[in-house]
């Protein structure tokens, strides 16, 4: 039962905030590791981690970076007209972490997607020779790359587009996981194929083995840029540094879009990372961002990248994710409710029979677990990467309890 203090917060949000989220009726106040606490002091295991953005709530190393930055009077932000040491650290660290050459910083994920689209179109006109305003970009059905008008123009989800037209031309969609469909869809005006290696918001949809290798080869053969959106799947979430690394780097993208966990869950920062010759089509004045690549966010991102490597978070995600998914699959007596369990690393989807997912999440909240349903009746589990096996066992026990009493 919520306290009067929580109810007051909820009522103020209802009164003054746009209704752009259907908010869960708790008020989150504190967090540490894989746990959060509400105003009443109730503890919840966070199995959502802000849609994969949180590697660890209040990680002590990231907290220290932020505190020392303030104590030392370091500059929070300065125009990108000026150089800063930490920006040099950031672009060098991120390029090295990704195994790529150049970095264009942004704030939120969709900003980076927009910039990747701009880069691809300009590359198509200036390098490939596509006639002006004729560039085509191919996306996959059921995709989610963000919510700006241009990015939504390639969405196939009716709700996301309802009431927001007219939309930006130049996009076509094909089935996800179908490399033959990509080959057939390419025309002389195709400049890029933009795809998630695993569809997150679309329902934790994992493509066939070797899919990324095939589409990478098709793009190369047709002089088309291969763009991977790893905003949700990147930074150790799927058991590798990036999901495409699961295919032994033969599916190396021309442009890689990253965000969410890049800021360690503490600050927003995103980027397009890519081949130098492709990135270099953008010149001064072609793109910019007031807060993109700001010094404090860069400092946090540099530390987050170090944490990912030094604490072996990819290996942890692979091991714990396999354990968690296998335990979920063993809940055989609940198969009348569960239709599929799929995912990779600590990005796992449980697909329920229609009408079950939302009720399941409500009951999990009552049991002390934060999770959320997504499309296709699927509940997404994506805890902070530092979650322990004991905490996963606690979550599994509560999942079983909820299913037993459904």
Count helices and strands in the chain by DSSP H and E runs? 14, 15
pTM: 0.97
SS3 246: helix
Question: What Å distances lie between residue 288 and 108, 111, 223, 282, CA to CA?
Answer: 13, 10, 27, 10
Is the model's pLDDT at 184 over the cut of 90? yes
Q: Which residues contact 154 (CB under 8 A, 6 or more apart)?
A: 137, 139, 143, 145, 171, 172, 173, 194
Residue in this structure with the two tokens 């002390």, named with its chain if needed: 368
Do residues 382 and 34 make contact, with C-beta atoms less than 8 angstroms apart? no
Report the candidate in 227, 232, 130, 117 with the shortest Cα–Cα distance to residue 182.
227
Per-residue pLDDT reduced to its tens digit, 85-134: 999 999 999 999 999 999 999 999 999 999 999 999 999 999 999 999 99
Q: Which residues contact 10 (CB under 8 A, 6 or more apart)?
A: 2, 23, 25, 27
Do residues 189 and 135 make contact, with C-beta atoms less than 8 angstroms apart? yes
CATH of domain 74-310: 3.40.640.10
* Residues with active-site annotation: 144, 229, 260
d(CA 91, CA 244): 21
d(CA 1, CA 26): 9
Per-residue pLDDT reduced to its tens digit, 372-398: 999 879 999 999 999 999 999 999 999
Domain layout of the chain by residue ranges: 4-58+312-404, 74-310
Residue 290: predicted pLDDT? 94
Per-residue pLDDT reduced to its tens digit, 274-314: 999 999 999 999 999 999 999 999 999 999 999 999 999 99
CATH of domain 4-58+312-404: 3.90.1150.10
Q: Do domains 4-58+312-404 and 74-310 have the same CATH topology?
A: no
Question: What average pLDDT does the segment 50-65 reach?
Answer: 97
Instruction: Say if strands 378-381 and 372-374 run parallel, antiparallel, or are unpaired.
Output: antiparallel
Per-residue pLDDT reduced to its tens digit, 19-48: 999 999 999 999 999 999 999 999 999 999
């Amino acid at each position: 039962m919520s306290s009067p203090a929580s109810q007051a917060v909820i009522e103020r949000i209802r009164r003054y905030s746009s209704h752009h989220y259907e908010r869960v009726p708790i008020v989150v106040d504190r967090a540490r590791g894989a746990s959060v606490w509400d105003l009443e002091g109730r503890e919840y295991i966070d199995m959502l981690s802000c849609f994969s953005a949180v590697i660890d709530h209040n990680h002590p190393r990231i907290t220290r970076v932020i505190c020392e930055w303030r104590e030392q009077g370091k500059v929070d932000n300065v125009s990108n007209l000026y150089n800063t040491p930490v920006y040099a650290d950031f672009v060098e660290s991120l390029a090295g972490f990704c195994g790529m050459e150049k970095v264009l910083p942004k704030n939120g994920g969709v900003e980076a997607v927009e910039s990747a689209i701009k880069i691809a179109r300009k590359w198509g006109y200036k390098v490939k020779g596509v006639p002006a305003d004729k560039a085509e970009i191919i996306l996959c059905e059921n995709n989610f790359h963000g919510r700006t008008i241009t990015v939504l123009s390639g969405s196939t989800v009716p709700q996301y587009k309802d009431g927001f037209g007219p939309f930006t031309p130049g996009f076509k969609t094909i089935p996800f996981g179908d490399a033959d469909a990509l080959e057939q869809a390419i025309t002389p005006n195709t400049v890029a194929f933009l795809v998630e290696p695993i569809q997150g918001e679309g329902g934790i949809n994992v493509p066939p083995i070797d899919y990324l290798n095939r589409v990478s080869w098709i793009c190369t053969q047709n002089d088309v840029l291969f763009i991977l959106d790893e905003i949700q799947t990147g930074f150790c979430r799927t058991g590798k540094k990036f999901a495409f690394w699961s295919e032994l780097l033969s599916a190396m993208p021309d442009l890689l879009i990253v965000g969410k966990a890049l800021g360690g869950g503490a600050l927003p920062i995103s980027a397009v990372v890519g081949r130098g010759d492709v990135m270099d089509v953008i010149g001064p004045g072609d793109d910019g961002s007031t807060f993109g690549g700001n010094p404090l966010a860069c400092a946090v991102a540099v530390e987050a990248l170090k944490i990912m490597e030094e604490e072996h978070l990819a290996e942890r995600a692979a091991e714990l994710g396999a354990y968690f998914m296998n335990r979920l699959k063993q809940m055989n007596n609940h198969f009348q409710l569960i239709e599929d369990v799929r995912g990779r690393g600590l990005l796992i989807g449980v697909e329920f029979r229609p009408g079950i997912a939302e009720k399941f999440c409500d009951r999990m909240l009552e049991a002390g677990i934060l999770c959320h349903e997504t499309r296709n009746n699927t509940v997404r589990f994506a805890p902070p990467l530092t979650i322990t096996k004991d905490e996963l066992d606690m979550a599994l026990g509560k999942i079983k309890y909820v299913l037993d009493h459904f």
